[in-house]
Amino acid sequence: MTTTTHHPWQKRCAVALAAIILGLAIVCAMTSVRWVGGTFPGFVILANRVIAAVSLPHWSIAPRQDVYHHQIVAVNGQPVTTTADVYTTVATLPPGTPLTYSLVKGEHHTEVSLPSQVFTVRDYSLLFLAYLFTGLSIALTGIAVWFLQPTNAASRALCVAGFTTGVFGITGADLYGPHWFFRLHIAAEALFPAAYVHLALVFPTDRLRRFRSVCISIPYIIAAALVVAYQLFLYHPTTYSFIYSLCMVYVGVAGAALLGSVLWDYWTTTS
């Protein structure tokens, strides 16, 4: 039987990572559950007043996905300066009331009228509960694998990928209010694709021999540049949307790299 030797710091680190993830999930669950039963616009808004690119089929915004990533500047002709202003205005009116939103994206100005809705338990389950469950599951899986095989290159990469993906998923439950972890969420959004590129380099087989540190560092350097740009331009909607698009491209590249790695090793090795 093969035994795994743990250094004390590895155990402490694994426990600390798990505690962070669990604590983050508990906080986001407690804040997000407050949405249930409340009146909301029929869409969700980021802290920078940008309409988030997420919807459920029965939401008011569903037929108007062309207004995703537009910033709200006024509701019923009254200027708004914060996301809280929008939510408060909507909450003071009965559900089903049509509201007119003045929107801007770059030089493009438009208006859209949408009825408000009640945020139901079903909405919570399909949106926030999905974020919380998926993020928690992925994060704890990555941490557990690393705990069991701490010296394995693939398990280290999976831990990083699981943790960053978990943070991204869990903080999604906070993303539309109260926005406590908005900056943490976007940092994870830029970082988790790098972790999957890292995983693609060492899983299913470790293909790194020469220039190992350089090869592993490059995807994280790209992610770090995206993180810095995100943090600097978070409240500049047009630039924010552009950086978001770059991150989504990075996610696609990372996914293709990991899938390609698995398929290549499936056909060319006995792994």
Dist CA 60 CA 111 (whole Å): 14
pLDDT tens by residue, 60-91: 999 999 999 999 999 999 999 999 999 999 99
Residues 204 and 257 in one domain: yes
Q: What is the CATH number of the domain that holds 97?
A: 2.30.42.10
Residues 202 and 243 in one domain: yes
Domain annotation covers residue 53: yes
Q: Which domain holds residue 74?
A: 39-118
pLDDT tens by residue, 15-60: 999 999 999 999 999 999 999 999 999 999 999 999 999 999 999 9
Residues 109 and 237 in one domain: no
138-143-144-149 Cα dihedral, nearest 10 degrees: 130
**Cβ of 61: how many Cβ atoms within 10 Å?**
21
Q: Which residues of 135-154 are buried (b: 16+ CB within 10 A; e: fewer)?
A: bbebbbbbbbbbbebbebbb
pLDDT tens by residue, 231-251: 999 999 999 999 999 999 999
Which residue, chain included where needed, has tokens 């409340």? 38
